[in-house]
A and B are shown apart, each in its own frame.
Chain A
Amino acid sequence: MSAILIRGGHVVDPSAGVDAKRDLLLKDNRVAGIEPAGKLNAAAKQEGAEIVDAGGLVVAPGLIDIHVHLREPGQGYKETIATGTAAAAAGGFTTVCAMPNTVPVNDSVETTRWMQSAERNPSARVFPIASATRGSMGEALTEYGSLKAAGAVAVSDDGKPILGEAIMHQALAAAARAGLPVIQHAEDTRMTGGCSMNAGALAFRLGLRGMPVAAESSLVERDLRLLAELKGGRAHLHIAHLSTAAALDAVRKARRNGLHVTCEVAPHHFILTENAVGEYNTNAKMNPPLRAESDRRAMLEGLLDGSIDCIATDHAPHAAHEKQQEFERAPNGITGLESALGLTLELLHRKHKVSLSRLITLLSTQPANLLNLRGRGTLAAGACADVVIFDPKAEWTFRAAATRSKATNTPFDGWTMLGRVRMTICEGRVVYRADAEGNRPANG
């Protein structure tokens, strides 16, 4: 392995409390040192390190997205592990956690291993999240211990809820024994049959059946009750893609009562409202749906006051022909890996004055902590050499057509973004490098 000296950058590493100009030396896919300017020059010279000039740029631990859909195995026409992680690298992500709603569902040690194989040609580290129940059918638990040993970092039936009360209780208890979090897709599907957007006046006018807020909040409340009943155990419940004020309030309350519950929010849920559906724009269709302005504001407040633990994109690529259908028929989901940093910097950092350190906490430090990804989300000596270098002041226009993903289903096409990724290094390997002007290279 070669060595890389990243010189003159503004290093932001919340895990070590670093928020200053520092040089960073990476060696043999580990962080070798982080020191004031010049102090690593000799060591770098000795290693024959590549020198990266990061003057005026932010150097941070690689971003971590704990909620992506990479579509492999089985749906390579939407995305592959190679293309999805290439998009991740271009967006500054060095680690992604892949949801199990593939074909077949990832409920086995074999699939879990297959997804992590170097043969998938990934540009970012992939940690599988295995299904909580066999085939995500909600009936029988999968083998949490062996799945963890094979590399799974959590269990979830994402795309669907773990709906039955008894099976959810079993899942929380078994996951606690195995030391895995249970990630819940909180949707009481008994309230959302045939629904394709948020319930309310807009859904009524558009003649679309709406998903009520209670479909999310009531299942979160149910799960929190189950978690409370297991108190004393080590069960960790993580709520995926939180979207409603009511569910966030339930999470806050449970935390005050000492329950181990965490949650994530997707950029689209703190940036967009249901109005983005406009005239049946299927790129604004996802599950949970875009909500009302009051819910969007609540998500923003949750990020600002710390009650939301992290940002996760719910990157959900689909083929163009699938989204070019009647609104009710089009599948749920949008891509997110290449727009997350730019949107978050624009809205949280520039508009709401959230510090860069807090932002990296939400996009890297905390996601690593939540799923116990050791040596990730930090630039401490000995940590994985996962680094993102970005220009925090660069403005650019996001073009869906230029994505590295196979899919272009995003409502943010043409939006102005703040903060351009200049280089992404995953386990010591440069997986993304912008051209000399800071633009995305033509071929990638």
Chain B
Amino acid sequence: MTPGKATILEPPSAVPPAPTPAAETCSRSLLSVTALSLNDVSAILSLATQLEAEEPVARATRLARRRIALLFYESSTRTRTSFELAAKGLGADTALISSQSSSIEKGESLKDTGITLRALGAECIILRHLSSGAPYLLAQATGLPVLNAGDGMHEHPSQALLDLRTILRALGRPEDAPGETLLNGITVSITGDILHSRVARSNALLLPRLGAQVILCGPPALLPEVARELGPGIAIERDFDRALKQSQIVMMLRIQKERLAGVHIDLDEYTTRYQLHRERLRAGAPQAVVMHPGPMIRGLEITSEVADGPQSVIAEQVRHGVPIRMALIQRALEPAAGPRKVRAQAGAKKRGGAA
């Protein structure tokens, strides 16, 4: 038996998941939050802060004229615009390809689309796709760094990172604490259509690693029991009011009508049980921070008073999207330049604070 390679001598339970076939994906890609080490998370947060503070003209020299493709198979407002602004903020040229106005409509495959973009000089592809796992295929097919801007029901890693930044800022907690303690003692409830939500998966996979407890809340049709098995630090609570009472962070999700696939939801009943409105918030979590990744359906999962109210940081979430995505793009294209500077500066800052 040749060692190393998976053989059937071992029971398959001991065999690691099949290695990614042949082609390697670029390590500077961001396909899933699970691929980020805690050091990576800290480095991205620091880099975001550094880039945000940089003088815009200087910042725009970092990736001057580098080519970044935004490949969007699904509609998007926040994610697309903030990735585009982030790329431009670093001086990069961007090209937007959307499925409605490209050869994708003529049946061109994802692989060929990726190879075409690479041939046109793209050095990084930011992909939103309706099919879970599509970014893995694109990364393998092109060998380029790929940033997952939301794939099907799988993940939305940049959203989880900007949510993390929003949470830390809203709670006034330091961003340079050791990764595993960043969210110690914090309970985050995520309520709504968990089943179809890539935002829920990315947050539930990331936040517990940073010390948080995550409570998932929703009816069984939108939150199967199996969701608990996403990882440690995840609990399911069907009663929204009970979930609120435990939460410092209340994250609301939209019902994804486009992915329901036959699941019938009684919206009146749903609203009664799971809508976040002023009275419920006041009773259950009067101090909590309210978040929503958007798009919101006002009057369904959340009322306008709450969305626009003093506890809401929904607009902040959107604002944090740009620095986080600048950091991800910088990391994808110039991994050596960014983090090294950041560490030096973070150290200097710490010493300065102590003095």
Contacts and interface: CB of A to CB of B under 8 A. Distances in A.
A346 interface: yes
Given A347-B8, A351-B9, A415-B5, A278 B20 contact: yes
Given A281-B21, A296-B12, A206 B261 contact: no
Contacts of A442: none
A176 interface: no
A254 B12 CA distance: 30
A26 B1 CA distance: 36
Contacts of A207: 132-133, 151-155, 198, 201
A415 to B, nearest CB: 7
A201 B132 contact: no
Contact of A397 (B2, B6, B155): B2
Contact of B12 (A204, A275, A325): A275
Contacts, number: 118
B8 A279 contact: no
A325 B136 CA distance: 10
Interface string A271-315: 111011111110110000000010010000000000000000000
Given A207-B153, A207-B154, A277-B18, A326 B131 contact: yes
A411 interface: yes
A278 B154 contact: no
A179 interface: no
Contacts of A351: 8-9
B5 A414 contact: yes
Contacts of B227: 204
B150 to A, nearest CB: 10
Contacts of A193: 261-262
B17 A346 contact: no
Given A201-B230, A325-B109, A280 B13 contact: no
Nearest to B129: A326
Interface in A154-203: 193-194, 200-201
Nearest to A201: B229
Contacts of A278: 17-20
A205 interface: yes
Contact of A328 (B1, B152, B195, B230): B152
B21 A205 contact: no
A276 to B, nearest CB: 4
A326 B153 CA distance: 13
A319 interface: no
A329 B13 CA distance: 27
Interface in A218-276: 271-273, 275-276
A328 B109 contact: no
A202 B186 CA distance: 27
Given A278-B19, A414-B5, A324 B132 contact: no
A271 B8 contact: yes
Interface in B182-230: 195, 198, 201, 205, 224, 226-227, 229-230
A327 interface: yes
A321 interface: yes
Interface in B299-339: none
A11 interface: no
B141 interface: yes
Nearest to A346: B8
A395 B153 CA distance: 42
A326 B110 contact: yes
Interface in B131-145: 131-134, 136-137, 141
Contacts of B205: 205
A208 B224 contact: no
A343 interface: yes
A415 B6 contact: yes
Q: By CB atoms of chain B within 10 A, which of A200, A275, A283 has the most?
A: A275
B297 interface: no
Interface in A330-346: 343, 346
Nearest to B133: A280
A404 to B, nearest CB: 21
5 contacts: A278-B20, A279-B136, A281-B18, A321-B111, A328-B131
The 8 closest A-B pairs by CB, nearest first: A207-B154, A280-B133, A207-B153, A207-B132, A201-B229, A326-B131, A278-B17, A278-B18
Interface of A: 193-194, 200-201, 204-209, 271-273, 275-281, 283-284, 293, 296, 321, 324-329, 343, 346-347, 350-351, 395, 397, 411, 413-416
